[in-house]
Structure formats: structure tokens, C-alpha cells
Amino acid sequence: MPVVFLLLTFTFTFSFHGCFVHAGDPELYFNWNVSFAKVSPFGVEKKVIVINDRLPGPLLNVTTNNVVSVNVFNNLDDPFLLTWNGVQMRRNSWNDGVQGTNCPIPPGKNWTYHMQVKDQIGSFFYFPSLGFQMAAGGYGPIRINNRVIIPIPFSFPQDDFDILIADWYDMDYQDMRDAVDQGFPLSLPDGILINGLPPEKANFTFKSGATYRLRISNVGIKTTLNFRIQGHKMLLVETEGSYTLKQYYDSLDIHVGQSYSVLVTADQPPSTSYYIVASSRFLELDLLGVAIINYGDGSNKRPSGGLPEGPLPFDYNYSMEQARSIRWDLKVGAARPNPQGSYRYGHINITRTIVLQNDEVMIGDRTRHAINGVSFVYPDTPLKLADYFRIAGVLTAGEVPDEPSGRKPTLGTPVVDASYKSFVEIVFQNNESWIQSWHMDGYNFVVVGMEEGKWNKSSRSTYNMVDAIFRSTVQVYPNSWTAILVALDNMGTWNIRSQELERRQLGQELYMRVKWDEAANNTVPNPRDEMPFPPGLLLCGKAAARSGTP
Ligand SMILES: *[C@@H]1O[C@H](CO)[C@@H](O)[C@H](O)[C@H]1NC(C)=O
Ligand SMILES: *[C@@H]1O[C@H](CO)[C@@H](O)[C@H](O)[C@H]1NC(C)=O
Ligand SMILES: *[C@@H]1O[C@H](CO)[C@@H](O)[C@H](O)[C@H]1NC(C)=O
Ligand SMILES: *[C@@H]1O[C@H](CO)[C@@H](O)[C@H](O)[C@H]1NC(C)=O
Ligand SMILES: *[C@@H]1O[C@H](CO)[C@@H](O)[C@H](O)[C@H]1NC(C)=O
Ligand SMILES: *[C@@H]1O[C@H](CO)[C@@H](O)[C@H](O)[C@H]1NC(C)=O
Ligand SMILES: *[C@@H]1O[C@H](CO)[C@@H](O)[C@H](O)[C@H]1NC(C)=O
Ligand SMILES: *[C@@H]1O[C@H](CO)[C@@H](O)[C@H](O)[C@H]1NC(C)=O
Ligand SMILES: *[C@@H]1O[C@H](CO)[C@@H](O)[C@H](O)[C@H]1NC(C)=O
């Protein structure tokens, strides 16, 4: 009897490309055609990346536990990869779509991502991860809807709108990349787009009295944007897959790579239209993205009055106070019925502390960015594949020290080894005068604290150990620190990166290899902890001639 049961379990659980999927999890299949198009939002024509002829690309609309395949046809003359910002890719860094885990899809070829959106809900986005392609678009929204049996913690909105806001450069993306590589810093952006459109071109229609969910992501490459709506308050409900304490905001600072859901009720006179504004923060010039909300019939009424005012451009205090006010709603459930607060992170012992400081440095005659003295460069073989095929000399484990070292900066391909199931405190120390934005693939983390100055152990007394927000992208203010706690329960090789493109291109990223650690003895290795090597994975570099077994 036990033998039969086991066999049945295996048949069901290994049925889909080695994914650990249960029978009955619905499967969705998408065909995406990636190509170039030309647009000129501010009068200068630029080559952009469109998916199925659209910028932003199609909505990836999925539900918790769906098994998702996305067949991507690369019609560019450039290698291409998409990554799924904030989607946890459980046990599946194989499909994460960054250069350290995946070989690029060559021009003229297609490749199919396979993933399960396991135990997740929320608003996210995808974007091209290679080179400077994100500066040419190629991004699009992701919604992971609640399963029908798990209620959302607010009344069902009339409709959802995906709003992708981004800084925009008229310059060709390859020229931008070449300039940055050669040490010319990125100039200021030329404008702000809302859903790929210049000011006053994007519009949304509201029905008087109805409430809408706006899922807003900053898909830009450099600029924090302040989001606000003329005459309407925004009720914050979700950020990157966590339901927040419901609070009203007049405006929200959204840093590069971050996503928020707000509820907006159409409670203003329908006789006029209203401005949506996404304005640049912390820049010497004031750039504005503008969209329009029409009430009712969608007729072409102009908004009355001026654009709504935002905070002062360099008011970091406003921004930090707001960030601290965004908290986790402990009482409601997210992807599972149990409340978010049943994860009592404040009761778990920290097993390791890592302080990561990014600095602008000179290596040779070039400006680079280095984390604790190591500036990341990609090898020709993805780290994940080099690791799997045991190809020597690609990744350099242990190269990044656990705290800033003060040593002479070097180029490297750093991988931080971390124990599966350990509970790690990471402090991002920003010693620059520019705001930083950090993203971690494969995980959500708890943002327990942020303060001005230099972090030390007694800074822990300021931590929120009860209801800090759980998310995947966090800002670090100039000359300040941000501390996160993360439970390393997702085996794989995961990208920790600057979401600001220029810094990432110049070396502000690394990989964390979360693996079973014999010495820590914290678990026993189980093949189910990570998906097996997926058949059909693209191979390249030193792994090009390998087959599916190491
Ligand atoms: C993809 O788009 C390109 C350019 O628009 C077109 O030439 C090609 O036929 C499309 N391919 C598929 C498979 O749809
Ligand atoms: C997204 O998927 C959900 C669940 O299947 C469905 O109810 C909804 O209509 C879809 N929305 C869009 C815009 O496709
Ligand atoms: C490429 O697309 C074809 C047609 O949809 C599909 O049958 C094939 O599996 C795809 N190849 C890969 C490697 O995903
Ligand atoms: C609103 O946007 C649609 C496309 O989404 C466009 O066709 C229409 O002209 C726009 N209307 C206004 C008033 O700008
Ligand atoms: C920071 O902002 C908060 C709330 O917005 C305010 O109470 C406080 O006085 C400000 N602090 C400084 C130093 O400006
Ligand atoms: C956490 O650490 C404290 C003090 O070192 C210890 O007493 C306690 O047992 C630990 N808790 C767990 C769950 O390991
Ligand atoms: C931080 O920056 C200041 C000024 O740029 C510099 O003097 C200081 O040494 C830096 N601190 C660290 C820890 O790198
Ligand atoms: C630690 O940082 C706090 C401010 O966060 C500061 O008041 C204190 O002096 C620092 N302690 C040490 C030992 O540097
Ligand atoms: C590791 O765990 C095993 C099984 O629980 C136990 O027998 C062994 O003593 C542990 N080893 C260490 C070094 O803690």
C-alpha cells in the first residue's frame, strides 16, 4: 500500500517539466513575440522593444499556483532575456531569466519559460534583463490574482488598471550602454512615460461612484517617481505581494523597481476630468508624466485647474517617513488563508549579518560600482550552469566579504554562499549622495529599518520587529542604511541587484547561492528542495557542449 501511494504521488508531482506541481493546478500558455518598433514620445525617434507589438507588453494575468509557460520569440538582432521582477520562482532559479542563471535567447530563436506562481499574490512586472535593453522598454505588468477560495481583504474593485511609470531617454539603448561602459555617466532623463505614453496621452475611464485598483510599478532605470491623482486620495492596499495596513496617501514615492496597489474611488464631480501625475524626485529638474482620468462616457473633457502638487524635490525626510508608515497588515491572509501576521519574523534568531555597501570606485581608468570592494562582471557562462556542470573558474564564492572591507576594489564574479533555511540580516549601507534601489530575486524580505547615518549593532534597537513590510525591492536613502531580514527558504542561485540600470551595468550586483549546508546541519538535503535541471534549457559559453547531466 505505501509503495502504491508513493508511485502515485511521484506521477502527479513530476508531471510538468520537472516542476513540483500538483494535479489540478491550472496551466497557462503564452506566445510572446519580441521585436523592435520606433516611437518618438518627445519628438525624437527611438528604437524600442515591443512584445506582441505593444509597449508596455501584454499583461501576464495569472492566479496563485498557476503553472505558466511563456514562449518568447526573439526577433531582435540582440540576445534577449526577460526576468520576472518580484515573482518568487520557487525552487526554480533555472527560469529566473537573468544572465547569471540563464543563457540569452539568441536572435531569431525562441525559448519557453516554465514557472509556477506558487503561494503568491500581488502586482509585479517583467523586464528585459540584458545590457541596457530595459532603457528601450520591453517591460509589462504581472498580476497574480487570489484564488477564488481566498478572499481579498477589501471589496472587489470595479476594475483593475496596470500603470507602468518610467523615466525615458531619447538616446538609443545600445549607445547608452556603450557610453556607460566607457565611463560617461548617464545624463538626466528626457521625460516620464505612463504606460509607454508621453504626457496627457494615457487615459483611464472611471464610472462615477465606483472603486478601482491601480497597480502601479516604476519600471524606469534611474528615477524615483512621485505618484498622485488630482482631487483623489489613494488607499494603499498592497505592495509586491503583501497586503498593507490600509492607509490613505495624497502621493506616493515609488522607487525604481517597486510596485504598489492603491484603491481609488471615483467620488469627484463627473463634469470634469482629472490628472494623474508621476513626477521625478531628487533630480535637479522637474520631469512630469501625466495621464488623464475621465469619468463616465469617456468624452473628451479637459481637467480643470493645475496639476496636483507633490512634495519638494529634495525632501528625503518626507520620503523616509512615508516609507516607515507603510506596514504589513498582520490580520489578513495573502496567498494562503492564514493571516500574514502568523509569520512572526521578530521571533526568529538571526543566523548571519551581511552589510553590503555599494560605492562608486575607479578600477583602472574606469568608473565602476563595487559592493564591499567587488565590482560584478558577467562571465561567458551563467553561474547557475557553471555550478551545475561543475565548470571550474567561472564563479568566485566567498569573494564578497560580509562587511565593507576598505580594500582596493577589484572586478569579480562574486557569489555569496548562504545556508538553506538560515535567517539572514542584510544591511544595505549607502555612503553615496544618490538614492539606491536594491532588489532580490527569489524572495520577499522584511524591511525592518532605515535611518540616516552608518549602521551599527545598536541600530537594531530602531527595528520594527512586528509589522514591517514584506517586499522584494527597497530603497536606501543617501548617507543612510536600510536593514532587511530574509528567511532563505528558496534554494537556488539568486540575483541581488541595483534596480538602477547604470549602477547595475557598472557592477552593483551579486548572486546568492542558497544551498544545503552540511556544517550548519539545519536540514537534510532533499531533491525536492530544488527543481531538477529542466530539459531544453538553453546552453552557452563553457556549458554549450554539455547535455542535461553534470
Ligand atoms: C513577430 O513579429 C515580427 C515583427 O513584427 C514578425 O515579422 C514575425 O512574423 C512575428 N512572428 C510571430 C511568430 O508572430
Ligand atoms: C485575469 O484573470 C482573472 C482570473 O482568471 C479573470 O477573472 C480576469 O478577468 C482576468 N483579467 C484580465 C484583464 O484578463
Ligand atoms: C519554439 O516555438 C515552437 C512553436 O510554438 C514550440 O513548439 C517550441 O517548443 C519552442 N521552442 C522552445 C525551445 O521553447
Ligand atoms: C484614450 O486612450 C485611448 C487608447 O488607450 C485612445 O484611443 C484615446 O484617443 C484616448 N482618449 C483621449 C481623450 O485621449
Ligand atoms: C520629517 O517629516 C515628519 C513627518 O512628515 C515630520 O514630523 C518631521 O518633523 C520631519 N523632520 C525633519 C527633520 O524635517
Ligand atoms: C534563539 O536564541 C536564544 C538566545 O541565544 C536561545 O535561547 C533560543 O533558544 C533561540 N531560539 C531558537 C528558536 O533557536
Ligand atoms: C563614505 O564616504 C566618505 C566621503 O565620500 C568617505 O570619506 C568615507 O571614507 C566613506 N566611508 C566608507 C565607510 O566608505
Ligand atoms: C551607532 O549608531 C547610532 C545611531 O544610529 C549612534 O548614535 C551610535 O553612536 C553608534 N554607535 C557606535 C558604537 O558607533
Ligand atoms: C546533525 O543532525 C543530526 C540529525 O538530527 C544529528 O544526529 C547530528 O548530531 C547533528 N550534527 C551536528 C554537528 O549538530
Half-sphere exposure of 418 (CA within 13 A, CB side): 33
Contacts of 529 (CB under 8 A, 6+ apart): 91, 420, 491, 516, 523
User: What was the pLDDT predicted at 495?
Assistant: 98
Query: By the 8 A CB rule, do 511 and 416 touch?
Result: yes
Question: Averaged over 311-317, what is the pLDDT?
Answer: 95
Q: How do beta strands 67-74 and 46-51 pair?
A: unpaired
The per-residue pLDDT for 549 is 76
Check residue 199 and report its DSSP letter: T
Does the structure show a pLDDT above 70 at 19? no
Ligand nearest to the CA of residue 535, numbered in listed order: 3
Q: What's residue 302's pLDDT?
A: 87
Whether the predicted pLDDT of 4 surpasses 80: no
CATH 2.60.40.420 fits 159-325, yes or no: yes
pLDDT, residue 297, reads: 66
Q: Which atom of ligand 7 is nearest to the CA of 429?
A: 13
Residue 298 pLDDT greater than 70, yes or no: no
212-266 residue pLDDT tens: 999 999 999 999 999 999 999 999 999 999 999 999 999 999 999 999 999 999 9
Distance CA 56, CA 205 (A): 19
Tell me how far CA of residue 506 lies from CA of 50, 181, 372, 487, 497, in angstroms.
Answer: 26, 7, 14, 29, 11
Contacts of 178 (CB under 8 A, 6+ apart): none
Contact (Cβ atoms closer than 8 angstroms) between residue 369 and residue 359:
yes
First to last CA, the chain: 35
Average pLDDT over residues 466-493: 98
- Give pLDDT, residue 322: 98
Given the DSSP bridges, would you call strands 191-194 and 159-168 parallel, antiparallel or unpaired? antiparallel
> pLDDT of 320-374, one tens digit each?
999 999 999 999 999 999 999 999 999 999 999 999 999 999 999 999 999 999 9
Separation of alpha carbons 410 and 375, rounded Å: 6
Higher-confidence position of 10 and 372: 372
Is 35 a residue whose pLDDT tops 90? Answer: yes
pTM for this entry = 0.93
In angstroms, rounded to a whole number, what is the distance separating the alpha carbons of residues 431 and 298?
Answer: 49
CA–CA dist 120, 89 (Å, integer): 10
DSSP string, 489-525: -S-EEEEEEESSHHHHHTT-EEEEEEE--TTTT-S--
Statement: residue 165 has pLDDT above 50 = yes
Q: List pocket residues of ligand 3, CB cut-off 6 Å.
A: 71, 110-112, 536
Report the run of H or E that residue 388 belongs to, with start and end: helix 383-388
pLDDT of residue 129: 98
Q: Is 453 in the pocket of ligand 8 (CB under 6 A)?
A: yes
Does 159-325 match 343-534 in CATH topology? yes
Give one DSSP letter per residue of 22-87, joined into a string.
Answer: -TT--EEEEEEEEEEEEE-TTSS-EEEEEETTBSS---EEEETT-EEEEEEEE-SSS-B-EEEET-
CB within 8 Å of 79: residues ≥ 6 apart:
104, 105, 106, 107, 130
Q: CB under 6 Å to ligand 4: residues?
A: 203, 300
Fold of 343-534: Immunoglobulin-like (2.60.40)
Section 284-313 average pLDDT: 90
Work out the mean pLDDT of the chain and round it to a whole number.
93
Neighbours of 545 (CB within 10 A): 7
Structure confidence at residue 16 (pLDDT): 42
- DSSP code of residue 189: -
Nearest ligand 4 atom to alpha carbon 202: 2
Which atom of ligand 3 is nearest to 110's Cα?
A: 1
Output the pLDDT for position 25.
85
Examine the pLDDT at 10 and tell me if it is beyond 80: no
What's the rounded mean pLDDT across residues 188-203? Answer: 97
Residues sharing a CB contact under 8 Å with residue 393, sequence separation 6 or more, in sequence order: none
Instruction: List CB contacts of 236: < 8 A, sequence separation 6 or more.
Output: 244, 246, 247, 248, 249, 252, 260, 261, 262, 326
Compute the distance between CA of residue 239 and CA of residue 334 in angstroms, rounded to an integer: 11
Choose the CATH number for 27-145 among 3.40.640.10, 1.10.3720.10, 2.60.40.420, 3.30.70.20: 2.60.40.420
For atom 10 of ligand 4, the residue with the nearest CA is: 203
3-state secondary structure of 177: helix
Q: Helix or strand or coil: residue 102?
A: coil
Q: What b/e sequence results for 36-54 when a residue is b if at least 16 CB atoms lie within 10 Å of its CB, and e otherwise?
A: eeebebeeeebebbbbeee
Cα(550)–Cα(533) distance, integer angstroms: 10
Q: Ligand 7 centre from 341 Cα, in Å? A: 39
Which amino acid, one-letter code, is at 266? A
For residue 346, the CA-to-ligand 4 centroid distance in Å is 49
Question: Cα 222 from chain centroid?
Answer: 14
Distance 523 CA to ligand 9 centre (A): 9
- The pLDDT score that the predictor gives to residue 17 is 46
Q: Give the whole-angstrom CA distance, residue 362 versus residue 223.
A: 24
Q: Ligand 5 center to residue 322 CA distance, Å? A: 10
Give me the pLDDT at residue 282, please. 97
Each as own residue / partner, the long-range contacts of residues 314-318 (CB below 8 Å, 24 or more positions apart, any chain) are 314/282, 316/282, 316/435, 316/477, 316/478, 318/253
| H or E stretch covering 320 | helix 316-325
What three-state secondary structure class fits 438?
Answer: strand
In this structure, are residues 51 and 82 in contact, taking their beta carbons and an 8 Å threshold? no
The SS3 call for residue 248 is strand
Q: Best of 30, 33, 110, 115 to mutate for ligand 3, by most ligand atoms within 8 A of CB?
A: 110
- Three-state secondary-structure class, residue 332: coil
In the predicted model, is pLDDT for residue 11 greater than 60? no
Query: Average pLDDT for residues 203-219, to the nearest whole number?
Result: 97
Cα of 82 vs centre of ligand 7, distance in Å, is 36
Predicted confidence (pLDDT) per residue in 87-133, tens digit? 999 999 999 999 999 999 999 999 999 999 999 999 999 999 999 99
DSSP at 529 = G
Distance between CA atoms of residues 350 and 418, nearest Å: 13
Ligand 2 site, residue 479, Cβ cutoff 6 A: no
Span from the CA of 423 to the centroid of ligand 6 (angstroms): 13
Domain ranges of the chain: 27-145, 159-325, 343-534
Unique residue bearing C-alpha cell 567587488: 374
